[in-house]
């Protein structure tokens, strides 16, 4: 896919990998950023004339339809939807500080929004002049879970199966459904974890490379090794990831 003069929607584009994707793609494309209302989102719109921002809390499903309707009014056709936004809570269900409300928040941001935005944007993706794409940014935790962040792990696993099934539904259309599986990346979400991490720049570069080549399953960094270990020695993969 030639990533020039495209209209690209990116969720969670104000920090981490999402922010780097915006920075890398806005030079030659029109980028639409969806993120929670914040000073960072306001400032992002001022950094480049090709960036358009829309504020929405993806933890609240009531925002999905009005958000997409607003975008459609200005952009009746888009080329790429990148579902990047995600949140992760690490408290276990048995800890006294576990917040019950975080269950629905994580499910909505990490999974419900992906399903809903994909559905709502399909009509405008179908209007793309060349092949369109839905790219879902996933995690190695979709393949092998860890002890903490049970809801996060489950939502990423659900995204994996959803993406595969949606690709079957759209295989007779011009819309490709792609996934990029990331290892640990140095973002605000992973602060305090000391193992080796990719930089957001490295992660974004690999994601964009896979998008250009329309790679259905883009295994980035250590994900290739994780898949191999999980295939041949699943008990080892389980133990490695359990307390990561």
**pTM of the predicted model, to two decimals?**
0.95
Chain centre distance of CA 130: 22
**Which among 135, 234, 226, 231 is positioned nearest to 184, based on CA atoms?**
226
Q: Indicate the domain borders of the chain.
A: 7-242
204-232 pLDDT, tens digit each: 999 999 999 999 999 999 999 999 999 99
CATH of 7-242 given 3.40.50.800, 3.30.530.20, 3.40.50.10190, 3.40.50.720: 3.40.50.720
149-174 pLDDT, tens digit each: 999 999 999 999 999 999 999 999 99
Cα(191)–Cα(88) distance, integer angstroms: 12
Cα(33)–Cα(31) distance, integer angstroms: 6
The per-residue pLDDT for 190 is 59
3-state secondary structure of 49: coil
Distances from the Cα of 175 to the Cαs of 45, 83, 166, in angstroms? 28, 15, 10
């Amino acid at each position: 896919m030639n990533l020039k003069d495209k209209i690209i929607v990116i969720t969670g584009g104000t920090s981490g990998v999402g922010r780097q994707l915006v920075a890398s793609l806005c030079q030659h494309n029109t980028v639409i950023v969806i993120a929670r209302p914040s000073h960072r989102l306001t400032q992002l719109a001022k950094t480049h004339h090709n960036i358009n921002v829309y504020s929405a809390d993806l933890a609240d499903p009531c925002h999905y339809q009005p958000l997409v309707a607003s975008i459609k009014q200005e952009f009746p056709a888009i080329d790429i939807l990148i579902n990047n936004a995600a949140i992760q809570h690490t408290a276990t269900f048995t800890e006294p500080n576990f917040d019950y409300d975080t269950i629905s928040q994580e499910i909505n941001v990490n999974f419900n929004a992906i399903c809903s935005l994909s559905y709502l944007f399909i009509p405008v993706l179908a209007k793309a002049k060349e092949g369109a794409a839905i790219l879902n940014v996933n995690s190695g935790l979709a393949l092998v879970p860890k002890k903490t962040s049970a809801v996060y792990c489950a939502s990423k696993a659900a995204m994996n199966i959803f993406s595969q099934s949606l690709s079957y539904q759209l295989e007779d259309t011009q819309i490709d459904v792609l996934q990029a599986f990331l290892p640990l990346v140095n973002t605000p979400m992973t602060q305090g974890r000391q193992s080796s991490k990719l930089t957001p720049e490295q992660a974004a570069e690999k994601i964009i490379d896979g998008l250009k080549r329309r790679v259905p399953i883009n295994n980035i960094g250590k994900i290739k090794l994780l898949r191999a270990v999980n295939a041949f020695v699943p008990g080892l993969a389980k133990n490695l990831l359990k307390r990561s």
